[in-house]
A and B are shown apart, each in its own frame.
Chain A
């Protein structure tokens, strides 16, 4: 097992390096002189010159990449054009808010999806199966930024039951465990949970159906096991696949939250990113993407290892 973990980590390193290369190249994708992408347009010429040298923009690309990577590893992600503050600092607080939102949305979506998918897979072809599959396909087809808007219209505008925007009263940027903050959490959480709900429902339905179609389930029943005990075996066999899907979906939630955060003005990475796009603040854009992508790589790695720990058949490479 330890050797396997080592191999998986070794395999993740080139991926992480590849990701960093793509993120690095974002500066060069943006039109014009790269220096204009990382400093404010009205910055004095000597500041531009100093940064140009510090970033190595006069050097060949591999050298630039090396310098950038070294700085990024030590936590220096550059300076925001818009605010003049260090990018790393801005991201840390925003990332915490995003991860929290994604976590709650994930919990909601996974639990509904697991229950729906389990019931649907166990009772294939029944009306409840049809309801669950319809919900699932609706969940994956709905533009969640629009769903957020509709929820705001219904619950904030028409019914005036819940707040429409922000994370807490008065543009709070720090989470607190009080009723006001939780009321703010409801709508974005529900909005964001719809896609993982749909995908988890679909996957669990398919997995449970597949496990049920195996002969060993019939053998268990033939042995006289109670249906409850049979269910235990099904859960055990469907577990690893479900875990993998949930792990990946959690990663997608972090990316997907960008649009939802914009709708609800949730002070997370998505909101930060939206601001950065609006102001063409490339260092912030680059920093946010790098952090989220690295988090996703790490998550994939952990899912792989956890999956193998549960079920050795999953061992790859």
Chain B
């Protein structure tokens, strides 16, 4: 279909994924408005790769994560996991998918059942999938050791007895207990202290190589995404605005939004500072997003064409794997900064 088709088949291929949430009101619960949380997003994740997804809060990152693990049903679009179509009429049942795709949640506290000891929380997933109890418990102990917690000390404890970092390790252990191939990490470190954050990030890196995992890593923290990701997807108001290898996104950002995000990012390296002014204000309301390009209301380069036509993702001139949705880069788009047609 596009430039992605050439390499080995990706582990996960998402095409035109869309999720709108109705806002209901009144006694009859009629639909009064729609939130366009995720709007026609496409991306792929290769085997053993880490795809980082960044964006401001409310841009649809978490919705995307929940769609990937089928906690939400997409309105349209397709998810293909390892060549198998996911969904009701797909090639892989939701149950089988969940053994292969797991998720780590942001809030380490509310994502652990306060009434279950750690052992039961971790063994829950395997036992649901038919692993005998004794074996599931053994697996819980093994995985607990893998995430750096001594099984003998932690196995009978309850979540309220643990620190935030320990709880997030338990959450990771719970996700890994099913021996998944893809792990979706939804802001796994954003609730943690900086020192603990580093420990958990290193743990994630180690686990990935030990267990041959593929990650979709969602965060609003650009530093963290840069540290962990092979490729990065930038989201704005439910749309993908830029996607590409991490060096390209951080080194040669093309979309005005990405440039603005990166210029707002504190850097220790004077050579890496960008001259772009940081964006101001809040993102527009996703209930009534702007027409055309959704970023135009905050974009310093916005022109008439940006309000009329929605830009599609297109390959950057020097790098086909780096794709941007901006009229300034589309030849003949009508934007004054766009390259000439056929150039």
A and B touch in the complex (CB under 8 A): yes
Mask for B17-33, Cβ within 8 A of A = 1, else 0?
Answer: 00000000001000000
Q: How far is the CB of A269 from chain B (nearest CB, A)?
A: 33
Within 8 A of B (CB), among A1-29: 10-11
Residues on B with C-beta less than 8 A from A317 are: 27
Cα separation A11 to B27 with both chains bound (whole Å): 8
CB distance from A175 to the nearest CB of B (A): 42
When distances are taken between beta carbons in the complex, the residues of chain A under 8 Å from B27 are 10-11, 317
The CA of A10 and the CA of B27, in the complex, are separated in Å by 10
Number of B residues with CB within 8 Å of any CB on chain A: 1
Complex: how many Å from CA A317 to CA B27?
A: 8
Scan A15-53; emit 1 where CB is below 8 A from any B CB, else 0.
Answer: 000000000000000000000000000000000000000
Task: Using CB atoms, name the residue of chain B closest to A14.
Answer: B27
A11 to B26, CA, bound (A): 10
Report the nearest B residue to A317, measured CB to CB.
Answer: B27
Bound Cα distance A10, B26 (Å): 11
Contact with A along B124-149 (1 / 0, CB 8 A): 00000000000000000000000000
Q: Name the distance in Å between A258's Cβ and chain B's nearest Cβ.
A: 34
- The residues in B between 1 and 50 inclusive whose CB is less than 8 angstroms from any CB of A are 27
> A11 — which chain B residues lie within 8 A by C-beta?
27
Complex: how many Å from CA A83 to CA B329? 93
CB distance from B24 to the nearest CB of A (A): 12
Closest chain B residue to A10, Cβ basis: B27
User: Binary interface profile of A, 300-317, with partner B (CB < 8 Å = 1, else 0)?
Assistant: 000000000000000001
Task: Scan residues 258-285 of chain A and give those whose CB is less than 8 A from a CB of chain B.
Answer: none
CA distance A317 to B28 in the complex (A): 12
Task: Tell me the bound Cα distance from A137 to B27 in angstroms.
Answer: 39
Q: Would you give the shortest CB distance from B336 to chain A, in whole angstroms?
A: 48
In the bound complex, CA of A6 to CA of B27 (Å): 13
CA of A11 to CA of B28, assembled, Å: 12
A264 to B235, CA, bound (A): 73
Q: Which partner residue on chain B sits nearest A11 by CB separation?
A: B27
- Chain B residue numbers with a CB within 8 Å of A10 are 27
How far is A182 from B27 in the complex, measured between Cα atoms in Å? 48
CA distance A317 to B26 in the complex (A): 7
Once bound together, how far apart are the Cα atoms of A212 and B133, in whole Å? 50
Min CB gap A11→B, angstroms:
7
Distance of A221 Cα from B27 Cα, bound (Å): 44
- Measured in the bound complex, the distance between the Cα atoms of B28 and A10 in whole Å is 13
Q: How far is the CB of A5 from chain B (nearest CB, A)?
A: 16
Looking at the assembled complex, report how far the CB atom of A10 sits from the nearest CB atom of chain B, in whole angstroms: 8
Minimum CB–CB distance from A141 to chain B (whole Å) comes to 31
- The distance in angstroms between the C-alpha atoms of A177 and B174, with both chains bound, is 74
State the Cβ distance, A7 to closest chain B Cβ, in Å: 9
- Least CB separation from B25: chain A residue: A317
Q: Considering the chains assembled together, what is the distance between the CA atoms of A214 and B27 in angstroms?
A: 34
Shortest Cβ gap from A16 to chain B (Å): 15
B335 to chain A, nearest CB (A): 45
A243 to chain B, nearest CB (A): 26
Chain B proximity of A12: nearest CB distance (Å): 12
Q: How far is the CA of A194 from the CA of B27 in the complex (A)?
A: 39
| Chain B: minimal CB distance from A217 (Å) | 27
Give complex CA distance A119, B27 in Å: 42
- A263 CA to B186 CA, complexed, in Å: 65
Q: How far is the CA of A71 from the CA of B27 in the complex (A)?
A: 29
Compute how far the CA of A174 lies from the CA of B27 in the bound complex, rounded to whole angstroms: 45
In the assembled complex, the Cα of A244 lies from the Cα of B292 at a distance in Å of 50
Give the distance in Å from the alpha carbon of A307 to the alpha carbon of B27 in the complex.
Answer: 21
Bound: A221/B138 CA distance, A: 57
Please provide the chain B residues from 226 to 270 with a CB less than 8 Å away from any CB of chain A in the complex. none
Chain A nearest CB from B39 CB (Å) reads 31
B237 to chain A, nearest CB (A): 29
Complex Cα–Cα for A317 and B25 (A): 8
A positions within 8 Å CB-CB of B: 10-11, 317
Using a CB–CB cutoff of 8 Å, the interface residues on chain B facing chain A are 27
A sample of 3 inter-chain contacts (CB < 8 A) reads A10-B27, A11-B27, A317-B27
What are the nearest 3 A-B pairs in CB distance? A11-B27, A10-B27, A317-B27
